[in-house]
Amino acid sequence: MQTLRALVRADEMWLALLSGIVGIFGGLGVVVINAVTLLMHQRLFDLAPGQGLSESASINPLRAFGVPVLGGAVLGVSMWALSRLRPHNLVDPVEANALYGGRLSLWDSIVVAVQTAWSNGVGASVGMEAGYAQFGAGVASWLGQRFRLRRSDLRVLVGAGTAAAIGGAFNAPLCGAFYGIELIIGVYSITTLPFVVIAALAGTLTVEALGAGTPPLHVTLPSMVPSATYIIVLLEGVASGLVGIAIMRGVTMIEAGFRRSGIPFWARPALGGAVVGLLGCLSPKALSSGHSALHANLNVVYPFLVVLGIMLIKSVASAFSIGSGFRGGLFFASLFLGAMFGKVFAGLAGVLPFFPHMPTGFYAVIGMSAVATAIVGGPMTMTFLALESTRSFGVTISVLAASIAATITVRRLFGYSFATWRFHLRGEQIRSAVDIGWVKALTVERMMRRATVTVHSAMSLEAFRQEVPLGATQRVIVTGDMAHYAGIVYPPEAFIVTGEGRRLSDILHHEDHFLLPGMTVKEALAAFESAEADALAVLDGPETRQVVGLLTEQYALRRYNEELDRRRRELSGE
């Protein structure tokens, strides 16, 4: 094993092989999770073999209402029991790569995958990508830690695991690869691309070999897109961004409402299931992720009010599912929501006299990709998904334009994707999967120099001049009664100030400015700027005020720049 570890760390060919193995496991995870949820749908909702839940014309009302409620109750109780056994937040791949260098618990990842499969299986309107990606990332992180990969390589392998899962789920390896790069790794680099693509291909081929591949979308699309159409395509992209913001805000509002209500968190999924069940009685399209409905109904032309109603029902069902505590994401659901919004937009665009007539399916595919981009992020991910799902290059260019417009709209008006917005609500400063964990690890305690010499504030300047000759040191930390921090003095100033009875307390600086050991390098640099100081004392706490060390701004900047340069070299492969 030690020899294998050395080979993987030293030779990229072995890391590429490890990426392929991760891809196979990611694909197997997709097959198993899909099989479990399909079986649950058939047994719990009395479906015919091969029939998707959300594509069904109707569901027995007792099952449509009862299954989500009872399933939510079981999930809530199990989550309560799990919180007693493991009282910590489950880390997802984005958070792991941003803060922890790709370190994930395999057990926690399996728990998330099981909870996602259960939530979807009982009809909650949640996406399966959370389970797929979590399992693929968990396996990748577990293997990477066994091989003791470097931090940068482990982050790439985690991205590769999610790429394999998403690529296999959609039968779209390019989509999976860019999902891993844009959303999980956070930065595109030529040195990371091969490993992510290898895993995505391995995951996709594994799913296909087991006969579980997703078929392409059957939709009527134009053979070419006139140039004049791009104006309305961009308008649809902007509108899709606004829809995405509204959905994300809606989920947050419902979550906040449940928290303020005082309802125990273990009871919330059952209440959310009741709302989803009632909507499922109106239309089965409100149930599950909507993936089967997307494939079955994308090319169907509905009356304007009908498609608007379906979109609203699905939006409410998704918001209550996630807001009440069901486990899952919004990727799959956002594709169906986006397709429905595209059809709504097509109805509005049809009355405009200045633009060429385009089939409804064209606007549906653009809406599908643009709304998903607005919610999930990753414009290239959704662009490649459209390309691999429709096999239409001309429409793909339009999808890219709309996705970019949606991305800019969301970044300008909202600033977060769904995943990073939830981190923001938790108080985490995560705007993407870019590695910022090293900033938190580079603390004042790691950079400071231990304080060995201090003087008392009551010491006279004359005594200080004798004890600290000019040129012996640049600064001296001063303490008061009970060794509490009092400030900093500069020896040259002590030689300039004259007068009988003058003491160090007369020339103290930065009495109220200090650092704490747990501060990050960024917080320390901000403190230096605020205090207009080139060095500050490090105290054990603001109440106890015991001096533990000293840190200079120059050294903090040097360490910060060294770490930045190290990350740059890792990205460029130097």
- Taking 60 as the threshold, does the pLDDT of residue 574 lie above it? no
- Write down the pLDDT at residue 432: 61
Best CA proximity match to 12, nearest among 153, 184, 197? 153
Per-residue pLDDT, averaged over 113-131, amounts to 92
Residue 520 — φ and ψ, nearest 5°?
-80, 170
pLDDT-based confidence at residue 234 (cuts at 50, 70, 90): very high
**Percent of the chain clearing pLDDT 90 (strictly above):** 46
**380: nearest Cα among 84, 522, 182:** 182
pLDDT at residue 260, rounded to an integer: 87
Alpha carbon distance 313, 320 (integer Å): 11
Secondary element (H or E) of residue 219: none
pLDDT digits (tens, 9 = 90+) for 376-389: 888 999 999 999 99
List the end-to-end C-alpha distance of the chain, in Å, as a whole number: 27
User: In this model, does residue 1 exceed pLDDT 70?
Assistant: no
pLDDT greater at residue 160 or residue 358: 160
Confidence at 36, pLDDT banded by 50, 70, 90? very high
Taking residues 275-279, report their average pLDDT. 94
Edge-first strand listing for the sheet containing 485-489: 454-456, 476-479, 485-489
pLDDT at res. 7: 63
Report pLDDT for 61: 92
pLDDT at 139 over 80: yes
User: According to the per-residue pLDDT averaged within each range, which of 455-459, 496-500, 549-553, 565-569 is highest?
Assistant: 549-553
**pLDDT computed for residue 496 by the predictor:** 82
Q: Rounded to an integer, what is the distance from CA 449 to the centroid of its chain?
A: 36
Segment among 176-190, 416-430, 500-514 with least mean pLDDT: 416-430
| pLDDT at site 437 | 67
Which pLDDT tens digit goes with each residue over 407-433?
999 989 988 777 776 666 555 666 665
pTM of the model: 0.82
Q: What is the pLDDT of residue 45?
A: 93
Q: Identify the structural domains of the chain with CATH numbers, from first to last.
A: 2-215 (1.10.3080.10), 229-426 (1.10.3080.10), 438-565 (3.10.580.10)
- Judged against a pLDDT cut of 80, whether residue 6 lies above it is answered with no
Question: What gap in Å lies between CA 288 and CA 52, rounded to an integer?
Answer: 9
The CA-atom distances, in angstroms, between 172 and each of 27, 169, 175, 299 are 12, 8, 5, 20
426 vs 517 pLDDT, higher one: 517
How much is the average pLDDT of 44-69?
90
What average pLDDT does the chain have? 87
- Mean pLDDT along residues 233-255: 92
pLDDT in the model for residue 83: 85
Lowest mean pLDDT segment, chosen from 131-140, 271-280, 426-435, 498-507: 426-435
pLDDT interval class at 312 (50, 70, 90): very high
**Lowest-pLDDT choice from 171-180, 185-194, 395-404:** 185-194
Residue 462's pLDDT is: 81
Whole-number pLDDT of residue 18: 92
| DSSP run (H or E) holding 490 | none
Residue 150 has phi, psi (to 5 degrees) of -65, 160
Average pLDDT over residues 125-130: 89
Would you say 213 and 207 are in contact if contact means Cβ atoms under 8 Å apart?
yes
| Lowest mean pLDDT segment, chosen from 26-35, 162-171, 220-229 | 220-229
Whether the per-residue pLDDT at 401 is higher than 80: the answer is yes
pLDDT above 90 (res 118): yes
Q: Residue 347 pLDDT > 90, yes or no?
A: no
> What's the mean pLDDT in 500-505?
79
Say which residue, 437 or 375, is predicted with more confidence.
375
Please tell me the distance from the alpha carbon of residue 194 to that of residue 202, in angstroms, as a whole number: 12
Q: Does position 39 have pLDDT exceeding 80, yes or no?
A: yes
